[in-house]
């Protein structure tokens, strides 16, 4: 069975020349590489030929693969053929222009090629000397990104894999500042570690909870602050929660403000939250994992207003900056705190240049690091600041277009404002207007029907108890025509279910 859509080039025969020892010979590598690049170019151009959401049953992919590794090596062409036959049907196509679920992310051409090069170079940038280029390019590229986002030079950047890990490190720095020497003493024996509290809105990402759990504060330490009618943290409620906690003998530690929440992309009022943090001497971490990208568009600079007063901020270029997964950036004003928390140099990793250089292993838990900055550098150079802004501005425009269509359509309603490129809405036929459970059930059926159809992929959330469909726009290849097709399909399917 071939799942190759008509027009795909397929894979040519690639003769196998490898000997009993050694790596794949250069001529074979060249032939295999060209075949693969041809396939990827076709794939990226025509990703919409595939069902966006993988249409396989649990276990189906695993069952179609051998349970043991082959004894004899196989031809590269046979491996590639199995990619098409077995792997591709089990892919959910994040690179499809009609992938509108979660956050619509994009592995742009220059990013894919840079990642390929990064694998070939196989840099492991734990120490400056193990990759001076990866170490220094990371600092330079993050300086570019910081300026594009309008953040002050006081922020130093470091790359991790995901925002979850960036936020974990930010809160580890906050813990280090509040509890000096905690890396040596641990938490158990310390009076001053009792009742620590971390505040975020009830719309904040679950990565905040996970970081608090992992830092040993206990999940009870997370205080979820209520939001206003636009899903933004209420800073008065924040101040009240802090006062209540202090009165009860707890110890406020940090506040996480979100600019671009995961459900609705709402933007917490960072200036008012920064006022509270300064007054209360709390660490302020801004979770701009998604929304930070919007700030590079001049009209959208407001989303990071007040972020210059934060202690740390996370932004994920892998979310809305055309960067293949994964690449998350933590900006921190006092990176020394992270080094105090995590730097540990065994004898075999000491180097003579240590005082003059930055060793990336010192800024976190992991020792080794991939050469991730290479892809961000390629992308910023290839598209240019202007090209990045134009693309993000287009996603913002498309979201407003969709919001307009929804608002004008009887039988549909929008469930949240649209500050960025995510639209939350639902079908709500007039006949069901006083039956909230029936409306939820209808929208669940609608989502299931849309996603099993394979033409588009949406996800959902719950807003004030109501089941909401969520359509996110963020892929470089998504056009208004794709959006119009999706909207027509949503209306037709709603009428049917």
Ligand X SMILES: *Cc1c(COP(=O)(O)O)cnc(C)c1O
Closest separation in Å from C-beta 420 to ligand X: 11
**Closer residue to ligand X (CB): 123 or 207:** 207
Residue number, 169 or 197, with CB nearest to ligand X: 169
> Is the CB of 80 or the CB of 172 nearer to ligand X?
172
| CB closer to ligand X, 205 vs 372 | 205
Residue 207 lies near ligand X (rule: CB under 6 A):
yes
| Interacting span for ligand X (CB under 6 A) from 5-13, 260-268, 454-462, 465-473 | 260-268
Binding ligand X by CB under 6 A: which of 108, 130, 258, 263?
258
Instruction: Find the shortest distance in angstroms from Cβ 288 to ligand X.
Output: 8
164 contributes a contact to ligand X by CB under 6 A: yes
CA distance to 59, 158, 383, 455, per residue, from 50 (Å): 20, 36, 27, 8
201 counts as binding ligand X under rule CB under 6 A? no
- Binding footprint of ligand X, residue count (CB under 6 A): 14
Given 96, 123, 316, 363, the residue binding ligand X (CB under 6 A): 316
Give min distance, CB of 262 to ligand X, in A. 4
Segment interacting with ligand X (CB under 6 A) among 108-116, 121-129, 218-226, 287-295: 287-295
Axis crossing angle, helix 335-342 with helix 163-178, rounded to the nearest 10: 90
Between residues 205 and 333, which has the closer beta carbon with respect to ligand X? Answer: 205
For ligand X, which stretch binds (CB under 6 A), given 41-49, 62-70, 92-100, 285-293?
A: 285-293
Based on CB atoms, which residue is closest to ligand X, 97 or 260?
260
> Does residue 323 belong to the site contacting ligand X (CB under 6 A)?
no
**287 binds ligand X per the rule CB under 6 A:** yes
CB-nearer residue toward ligand X: 51 or 306: 306
Report the site for ligand X in 210-229 (rule: CB under 6 A). Answer: none
Judged by CB under 6 A, the stretch of 84-92, 156-164, 173-181, 268-276 that binds ligand X is 156-164
Which stretch, 256-264, 329-337, 338-346, 457-465, contacts ligand X (CB under 6 A)?
256-264
Residue 263 binds ligand X (CB under 6 A): no
Nearer to ligand X, 130 or 316 (CB): 316
- 289 binding ligand X? (CB under 6 A): yes
Q: What's the min distance (Å) between Cβ of 266 and ligand X?
A: 10
Give, in order, the Cα–Cα distances in Å from 102 to each of 105, 224, 261, 461: 9, 22, 11, 9
CB of 449 to ligand X, least distance (A): 26
With the C-alpha atoms ordered 78, 1, 99, 391, is the resulting torsion angle positive or negative? positive
Interaction residues for ligand X, span 392-431 (CB under 6 A): none
Q: Applying CB under 6 A, which part among 10-18, 115-123, 159-167, 369-377 lies near ligand X?
A: 159-167
Residue 290 lies near ligand X (rule: CB under 6 A): yes
Q: Does 328 bind ligand X (CB under 6 A)?
A: yes
Neighbours of 1 (CB within 10 A): 6
Q: What's the min distance (Å) between Cβ of 289 and ligand X? A: 4
- Give the footprint of ligand X on this chain (CB under 6 A): 162-164, 205, 207, 258, 260-262, 287, 289-290, 316, 328
């Amino acid at each position: 069975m071939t799942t190759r859509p008509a027009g795909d080039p397929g894979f040519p025969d690639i003769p196998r020349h490898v000997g009993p020892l050694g790596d794949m010979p250069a001529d074979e590598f060249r032939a295999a590489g060209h075949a693969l690049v041809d396939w990827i170019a076709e794939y990226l151009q025509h990703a919409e030929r595939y069902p966006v959401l993988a249409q396989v049953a649990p276990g189906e992919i695993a069952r179609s693969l051998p349970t043991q590794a082959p004894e004899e090596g196989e031809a590269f062409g046979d491996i590639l053929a199995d990619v098409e036959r077995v792997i591709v049907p089990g892919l959910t196509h994040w690179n499809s222009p009609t992938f509108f679920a979660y956050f619509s992310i994009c592995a742009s051409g220059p990013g894919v090629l840079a990642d390929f090069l990064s694998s070939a170079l196989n840099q492991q940038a734990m120490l400056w000397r193990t990759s001076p280029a990866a170490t220094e390019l990371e600092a330079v590229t993050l300086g570019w990104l910081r300026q594009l986002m309008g953040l002050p030079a006081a922020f130093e950047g470091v790359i991790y894999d995901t925002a979850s890990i960036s936020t974990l490190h930010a809160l580890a720095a906050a813990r280090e500042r509040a509890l000096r020497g905690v890396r040596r003493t641990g938490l158990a024996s310390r009076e001053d570690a009792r009742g620590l509290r971390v505040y975020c809105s009830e719309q904040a990402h679950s990565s905040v909870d996970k970081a608090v759990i992992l830092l040993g504060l206990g999940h009870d330490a997370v205080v979820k602050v209520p939001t206003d009618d636009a899903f933004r943290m209420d800073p008065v409620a924040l101040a009240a929660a802090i006062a209540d906690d202090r009165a009860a003998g707890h110890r406020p530690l940090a506040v996480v403000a979100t600019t671009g929440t995961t459900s609705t992309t709402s933007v917490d009022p960072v200036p008012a939250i920064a006022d509270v943090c300064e007054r209360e001497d709390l660490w302020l971490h801004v979770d701009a994992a998604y929304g930070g990208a919007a700030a590079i568009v001049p009209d959208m600079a407001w989303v990071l207003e007040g972020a210059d007063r934060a202690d740390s901020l996370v932004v994920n270029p892998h979310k809305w900056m055309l960067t293949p997964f994964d690449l998350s950036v933590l900006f921190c004003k006092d990176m020394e705190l992270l080094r105090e928390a995590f730097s540990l140099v065994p004898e075999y990793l000491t180097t003579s240049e240590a005082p003059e250089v930055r060793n990336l292993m010192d800024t976190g838990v992991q020792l080794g690091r991939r050469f991730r900055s290479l892809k961000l550098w390629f992308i910023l150079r290839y598209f240019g600041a202007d090209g990045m802004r134009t693309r993000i501005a287009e996603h913002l425009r498309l979201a407003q277009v969709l919001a307009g269509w929804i608002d004008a359509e009887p039988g549909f309603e929008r469930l949240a404002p649209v500050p960025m490129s995510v639209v939350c809405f639902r079908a709500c036929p007039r006949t069901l207007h006083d039956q909230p459970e029936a409306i939820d059930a209808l929208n669940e059926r609608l989502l299931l029907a849309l996603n099993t159809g394979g033409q588009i992929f949406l996800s959902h959330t719950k807003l004030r108890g109501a089941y909401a469909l969520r359509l996110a726009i963020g892929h470089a290849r998504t056009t208004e025509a794709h959006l119009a097709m999706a909207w027509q399909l949503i209306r037709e399917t709603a009428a049917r279910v």
